[in-house]
Structure formats: C-alpha cells, structure tokens
A and B are shown apart, each in its own frame.
Chain A
Amino acid sequence: MADGPTLIERRRALSLIAAGGAGLVTSPLWAQSLVDLRLPGGPSERPMTTAFPGKGPMILQRSRAPLLETPMAAMDGHVFTPNDRFFVRWHYSDIPLDVDVHSFRLNILGAVKRPVALSLAELLKMPRFEIAAINQCSGNSRGLFEPRVPGAQWGNGAIGNAKWTGVRLKDVLDRAGVSANAVQVRFSGLDTPPPDAPLFAKSLDLAHAMDGEVMIAFQMNGAQLPMLNGFPLRLVVPGWYSTYWVKALDRIELLDKPDTGYWMEKAYRIPDTPRANVAPDAKGYPTVPINKMSPRSFITNLTDGARVAANAPLKLRGLAMGGAAGVTRVDLSTDGGQTWLAATTGPDQGKYGFRAWKAVAPALPSGEHSLAVRCTSDSGEAQGFEPIWNPGGFMRNSIETITVRAA
C-alpha cells in the first residue's frame, strides 16, 4: 500500500509547490513523490522523504525542527509500528545529534532526599518491564480540523504503537527518595531552546508518576531508540498524549508546587469540556493540560479515493485504540453510518496498544461508498461522527470516513 492512490508520483516532485510560490530544489534522495493528505482547503501535498537517518519513507512535514509523519500504509498489517517508520516530532531545532552513552546521566533532583545522577549502565541493572503503548501527538490529525487552525498540519499519522522496554519511573524516583512535600514531577531532555525561550519541560502529578506504569524506556520494539525518537531514554506515559513522553530524557525534577512553566500553563491546554470540544467562536471557557487519549480507529488497507471491486465482498482491516482503556469493539459501516457491522478484533496486546481489526463487508454495488470505522473502549466511550474543534487542534477522535469507488 505504499503507493496508494493518494500518492502522486512526480519525477520532478516539487515543481507543483514551486509553481505555488515556493522555490524548491529536487533531489533523488529527498523527494521522489508527493503524498496528498486530503486536508480541507489545503495545502495538502507533502513530499515523501528518505533523507533522515534511520528512517524509511516518511511524510515530510518540516525538516527543522523535524516533523515526520508516518504514512497510514506503514501501519497496515501489524500492530507495532516499525521504528524506522515511527513518527518524529521535535519542538526546537537544537536536538541531540550524538549522545555518549558513558558520560550521559539521568539527573533526579529537586524535592528529593538525595539527588542522584544515574548512568545508563546503572539503569540497565535495574528491574525492567515491557509495555505496549501508543504514542500519539496531541495534535495528530490537526490538519483535518474545520475551521483550520495553525500549528503542525498533521494528517492521521502522528501516531505509532511500540513495545517499550525500560524501568519503572517509580523505581528511579525511589533511588532519590521523594520528599514529603513533592507534588509534581517535571521532565526535560537534551533538546535546547533558542536563547531565552522556555525549556521544553512537562510535568505529571506525583501519584501518576508513581503508578508503576509510567516508564523510562531505553528500547522500542526490541531495539534502542532511534535518535529521532529520543535516544537514549524516553518517558513512556501509557494512555496519555505524546507531549508527556519526553525524549532524550536527562532531567527529572521533583516539584513542591504545581509546574507553572510555559509548556504546562500556556501550551498543550484543552477546553475543560466534553471531548475538548468548543464552538469556534467560544471564549472564556476553562482549560486544563491535555491528558488521556480517546478511542480512535483507522482503515489501513485502503485510502480515501481508492477503487475497489464492485459486487464482491470487500476485505477491510485496520487498527483501533481505546485511548486510556482497552478496545471493547470495532464496528464498520459501508453506508455512512446508517448500519454497522461488527469487526473481528485481533489479539489483545495490552490496553494501551493498538488492536488489529478486520472485517469482510458485503458486496458493494458500483458507485461511490462511504466507509466508516468506529471504536468503543472498555470504559464505554465510543467514537462519534460529531467533529471536535478547539483552537489548539488537539484530540481529534471523530469517526474517520473514507470514500471508495466500486467498479
């Protein structure tokens, strides 16, 4: 499916963008083709790139600081997203380009009994666990918001699922000894902001940090983390959006009062309303830091605009997630949501990971058909058709619909 119908092959890949006003130089390695993300109102086309070390073909959203989106086709057929296709998102351009595994230290400081600086060798000696968990950007699918909002204009591919290996954050915090007055834990990494800009740092409440599920990971899918995904250590916060999954984690600070830094107080905030949804002209509503994810589901073996055989059973497959709970059921509709067919779900690999689903839809007559997939989570939360809107472009989880032409 790497050459799905939305992938427009172009020898001179970027002549189209150049015609639109941007001067771009072509390169055989850089961009062989464009992908159309079908973002309402555009611009919708992005180059595919293989120029980033350790990464296969990725949708180039921004070269500096890197924003690389996973093509939906790369998620087809497996629940774990390959490391070399896993999406990449950095805030600041000064990202770590090399890490000395001997001199690297993970510092735990602040409201602790004894600050510690752990080497990677020490971390590798600690008890480990594994967890399957989806890492999804808060702004995944932002480009599909209507009305459109500024920010990284992702399609649906700022998401991936991996099996993470690492140590419990709780065990690491216990090495330092949490002081009785600690209330939050702040995380930051090796990326550095421009002069005077705020350090990218995110915080969790102490009880969450100590829940035994939050991980300091040194492997994903059985291999060390790619540099672009946070080598050597990354925080894994199962069920929560990626903004908390601090990459190249090297500093953990116990706070004796809630974090008032920019990245908690101003950025990544959502309306404190059901599904983080507000009217585009709404003002004055309360906000909270973004937190748990919601159910989502995707068809991965067909893309919007695909041609399928008419009058023959249609095999469909894809991925579903419950968010912060497991997947109870996945339903499929070939008539725009009037009737639903239960899909078969694959093995449960843990409630925080993707669940594969498949279904055979009844034969479709010739013509255009709207295919929709809906996930219901173990907490009873089901996706709905109603769009979500908020000014940050966060938390889209509406039912995804694609149109196919049967002929």
Chain B
Amino acid sequence: MSGAHRLGPAMLAIAAFALGGAAIAAQRGPATRSVSGGGITLTSPTLSLPEEKAAFPSGAAGELITSNCTACHSAEMILNQPLLGADKWKAEIDKMRGTYHAQIATEDDAALAAALIGLQTARP
C-alpha cells in the first residue's frame, strides 16, 4: 500500500510536457490499458474461452437435445446430471423455458424429456 510511486495527474502532465512527444506517445501505447493508484495497477485483460469439446451422441435424440438446450449452456451441464426422473426433467425444461426464455417448443417436451432420460439410462 506504499504511495511511493503515486503520481497525481498534474505531476504526470508536467512530466509529459518536460519529456516532450516521446513521453506522450508512450502513454498512448500499452500504458493506456492500465490504470494505477496507491501502488496498485489494474490492466485491461482479454479472455478467450476454449472451444467446447463435449457433445451429445449423433442421432435424432442427441440433435433434439442439442438444438433445444445448448443455446445457453454447453453439453456438460446435462451430461453431468445424476439420474433424474421424467418429472424432474420436465421441471427443468419448464424452468429453462419459463425463467430463462429458452426457445423450447412445448410440443417437443415429451420427446425432449424422453431423449434426456435415454441419455442417462444409456450410461454405463
């Protein structure tokens, strides 16, 4: 928490004036991605997320789950669920549609629940 390296804006302006164009140019470089104060510097980061690897099995059931469920989350969320009965899967579908406005057509509900249960019962 040392204030030793703290420079007020006024001091920076004087320093920039004194050092001329080079110092000003330097401030427009990588330094503009940082802000400092009281010995702490925060630097703008950039995050690149990795490619998703998990997927559902090919076939009609897998495609039904993919098209209805993966707009908002990747496949692991479903693959990692414990054995849930039809009622619980139906409740999940209702929650995704009701709360999160997932684009799931109600006429798909029975087939989707069956596909999700099928996915789980096929597990070793």
Asked if A42 lies at the interface with its beta carbon under 8 angstroms from chain B, I say: yes
Tell me which of A62, A98, A123 contacts B73 (CB under 8 A).
A62
Tell me which of B33, B40, B123 contacts A42 (CB under 8 A).
B123
* Contacts A53-B48, A195-B101 given; does A23 touch B57 at CB 8 Å: yes
**A262 smallest CB distance to B (angstroms):** 6
| Complex interface: chain B residues within 8 A of A280 (CB) | none
Is B40's CB under 8 angstroms from A165's CB?
Answer: yes
* Contacts A128-B38, A153-B81 given; does A53 touch B43 at CB 8 Å: no
Tell me which of A53, A64, A95, A149 contacts B74 (CB under 8 A).
A64
Mask: chain B, 76-92; 1 = CB below 8 Å from A; 0 = not = 11011111100010001
Tell me which of A150, A197, A262 contacts B81 (CB under 8 A).
A150
**B7 smallest CB distance to A (angstroms):** 12
State how many residues of chain B have any CB contact under 8 Å with chain A: 50
CA–CA, A61 to B73, complex, Å? 12
Segment of A43-51, A170-178, A303-311, A397-405 in the binding face: A43-51
Asked if A349 lies at the interface with its beta carbon under 8 angstroms from chain B, I say: no
Interface residues on chain A, size class: 35 or more
Asked if B32 lies at the interface with its beta carbon under 8 angstroms from chain A, I say: yes
| Complex interface: chain A residues within 8 A of B57 (CB) | 21-23
Counted as pairs of residues, one from A and one from B, with CB atoms less than 8 Å apart, the total is 161
Is A218's CB under 8 angstroms from B40's CB?
Answer: yes
Is A194's CB under 8 angstroms from B37's CB?
Answer: no
Is A262's CB under 8 angstroms from B83's CB?
Answer: no
| Complex interface: chain B residues within 8 A of A17 (CB) | 54, 79
CA–CA, A316 to B119, complex, Å? 41
Asked if B22 lies at the interface with its beta carbon under 8 angstroms from chain A, I say: no
| Complex interface: chain A residues within 8 A of B52 (CB) | 63-64
| Complex interface: chain B residues within 8 A of A96 (CB) | 47
Is B81's CB under 8 angstroms from A14's CB?
Answer: no
CA–CA, A135 to B88, complex, Å? 30
A-B pairs with beta carbons under 8 Å apart, 29 shown: A19-B124, A21-B119, A22-B54, A22-B55, A22-B57, A23-B56, A30-B50, A39-B82, A41-B82, A42-B82, A52-B50, A54-B45, A62-B76, A63-B50, A63-B52, A63-B54, A63-B76, A64-B52, A123-B37, A124-B35, A148-B82, A148-B83, A149-B82, A150-B88, A165-B40, A196-B101, A197-B101, A224-B45, A227-B46
